[in-house]
């Protein structure tokens, strides 16, 4: 992999990841862009002990542009996009409309009031970083259409960005993810994902770490290891497995079709995967995505999904216990029917799933032999 770092016209960083060592990336960004004013804030919820990001500038972000005006396609004569080059393999760049931006020493005041209004109502600058990952230059492909070598290049880019962003001052957790499909809320059709570098540990991760600590205290064992072992031994919810990875529908799946993908050797994040796990990942992951697209038949169209890498926060006490894993799920419960987060889910956080996990796993195994 060759990595080339450059800057866009407004100073944002852009990185090319190329499979060829002789790739030359020296095309400048000719657009007349200014530096922008991305000012987000973090509001602390004292009842839940969680941070909420307030990012009003994102109201003006690009929304469903025509394919010939896609900002993630390569630039061409007469139309310059976010990527100056006429072609690319994988590209990562700072989001033009970031939810989080700036470092911990950023002393800009929030839009209203001092940093702390009263002890219970705390506000901080929305420090952190948000990046866009373009998986391919071809606008009409999806991740499932990539070949193993291209998928491996994306994995290498995720890994490199995880290492780089984790070293930024104030960053506590790095989150690589893909939202796919209009039903999910995607506003750009080009195959791409995102990376968030949070200045705090996310609530979902905090919950996992608390459960892991309690399990360690009760049993002396690691909870992630025990879950993976139990799923592999039981087998009823295993979707597919290899020498280094296992994909299964979790016992308490929240979404109609939800799969968790774990490496067999527990590691805290992408940077610590060994060569064997990296080599096997593209085949396993591509097959999972292709099975998701076969679930509802050709007439249903591409399956909308969220694919999320769960990685350890930077805290030294978390890394030895946390297990890197990927969670892939769709909000589609049947052809033409979506799972909406209604009163119980949105109001109380209690999920109600119409598809039994064992049924979902069985169907995901069944579509392995179906031709797209």
Segment 241-288, tens digit of pLDDT? 999 999 999 999 999 999 999 999 999 999 999 999 999 999 999 999
**C-alpha closest to that of 196 among 135, 107, 133, 282:** 133
Structure tokens at 210: 């608390």
Per-residue pLDDT for 114 more than 60? no
Same fold, 2-200 and 204-369: yes
For tokens 């005041």, the residue is 109
**C-alpha closest to that of 38 among 161, 167, 128, 164:** 128
Burial code of 87-117, b = ≥16 C-beta within 10 A, e = fewer?
Answer: ebbbbbbbbbbbbbbbeeeeeeebeeeeeee
What confidence score (pLDDT) does residue 112 get? Answer: 42
Cβ atoms of 226 and 331 within 8 Å: the answer is no
Percentage of the chain exceeding pLDDT 90 = 84
- Which entry of 43, 64, 80, 192 is annotated as an active-site residue? 192
Cβ atoms of 44 and 121 within 8 Å: the answer is yes
User: Got the DSSP string for 38-90?
Assistant: ---EEEEETTTTEEEEE-GGGGGS--S--GGG-TTSBPBTTB--SB-SS--SE
Cβ atoms of 134 and 140 within 8 Å: the answer is no
Mean pLDDT for 82-108 is 87
Mean pLDDT for 85-110 is 82
Q: 174 vs 104, which has greater pLDDT?
A: 174
Domain 2-200: what homologous superfamily?
HIT-like (3.30.428.10)
Structure tokens at 101: 């931006």
Structure tokens at 82: 């976010």
Residues 82 and 277: their CA atoms lie apart, in Å, by: 33
Q: Is 310 a catalytic residue?
A: no
What confidence score (pLDDT) does residue 184 get? Answer: 92
Cβ atoms of 257 and 330 within 8 Å: the answer is yes
Residues 12 and 6: their CA atoms lie apart, in Å, by: 9
139 annotated as belonging to a binding site for a ligand: yes
Lowest mean pLDDT of 1-15, 286-300, 305-319, name the range: 286-300
Q: Domain ranges in the chain?
A: 2-200, 204-369
Put simply, whether the predicted model's pTM sits higher than 0.85 gets the answer: yes
Lowest mean pLDDT of 10-14, 181-185, 347-351, 353-357, name the range: 181-185
73 annotated as belonging to a binding site for a ligand: yes
Mean pLDDT for 183-204 is 95
Mean pLDDT for 280-297 is 96
Residues 211 and 223: their CA atoms lie apart, in Å, by: 8
Residues 226 and 232: their CA atoms lie apart, in Å, by: 10
Per-residue pLDDT for 107 more than 60? no
Using pLDDT thresholds of 50, 70 and 90, give the confidence band for residue 109: very low
Cβ atoms of 171 and 163 within 8 Å: the answer is no
Mean pLDDT for 143-164 is 98
Q: 179 vs 107, which has greater pLDDT?
A: 179
Using pLDDT thresholds of 50, 70 and 90, give the confidence band for residue 222: very high
Residues 216 and 360: their CA atoms lie apart, in Å, by: 30
What confidence score (pLDDT) does residue 105 get? Answer: 55
Considering the four listed CATH numbers 1.10.1370.30, 3.40.50.620, 3.30.428.10, 1.10.150.120, the one that applies to the domain covering 204-369 is: 3.30.428.10
What confidence score (pLDDT) does residue 187 get? Answer: 87
Q: Which helix (H) or strand (E) holds 348?
A: helix 348-348
């Amino acid at each position: 992999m060759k990595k080339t770092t450059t800057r866009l016209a407004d100073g944002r960083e852009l990185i090319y990841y190329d499979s060829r060592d002789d790739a030359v990336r020296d095309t400048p960004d000719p657009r007349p862009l200014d530096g922008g004013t991305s000012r987000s804030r973090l509001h602390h919820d004292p009842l839940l002990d969680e941070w909420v990001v307030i990012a009003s500038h994102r109201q003006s972000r690009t929304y469903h542009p025509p394919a010939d005006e896609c900002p993630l396609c390569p630039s061409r004569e007469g139309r310059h996009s976010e990527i100056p080059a006429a072609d690319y393999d994988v590209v990562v760049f700072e989001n033009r409309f970031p939810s989080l931006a700036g470092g911990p020493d950023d002393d800009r005041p929030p839009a209203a009031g001092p940093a702390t209004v009263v002890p219970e109502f705390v506000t901080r600058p929305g420090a952190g970083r948000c990046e866009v990952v373009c998986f391919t230059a071809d606008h009409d492909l999806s991740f499932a259409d990539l070949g193993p070598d291209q998928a491996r290049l994306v994995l290498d880019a995720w890994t490199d960005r995880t290492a780089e962003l984790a070293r930024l001052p104030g960053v506590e957790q790095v989150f690589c993810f893909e939202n796919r499909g209009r039903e999910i809320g995607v506003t750009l059709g080009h195959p791409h994902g995102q990376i968030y570098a949070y200045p705090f540990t996310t609530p979902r991760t905090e919950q996992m770490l608390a459960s892991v600590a309690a399990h360690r205290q009760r049993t002396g064992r690691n909870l992630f290891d025990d879950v993976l072992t139990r799923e592999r031994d039981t087998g009823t919810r295993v979707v597919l497995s290899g020498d280094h990875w296992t994909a299964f529908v979790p016992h308490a799946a929240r979404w109609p079709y939800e799969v968790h993908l774990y490496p067999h050797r527990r590691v805290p994040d992408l940077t610590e995967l060994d060569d064997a796990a990296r080599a096997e990942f593209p085949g396993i992951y591509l097959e999972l995505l292709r099975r998701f697209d076969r679930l509802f038949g050709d007439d249903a169209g591409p399956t909308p999904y969220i694919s999320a890498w769960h990685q350890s926060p930077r805290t030294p006490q978390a890394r030895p216990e946390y297990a890197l894993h990927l969670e892939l799920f769709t909000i589609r419960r049947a052809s033409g029917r979506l799972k909406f987060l209604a009163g119980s889910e949105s109001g109380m956080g209690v999920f109600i799933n119409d598809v039994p996990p064992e049924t979902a796993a069985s169907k995901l195994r069944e579509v392995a032999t179906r031709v797209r």
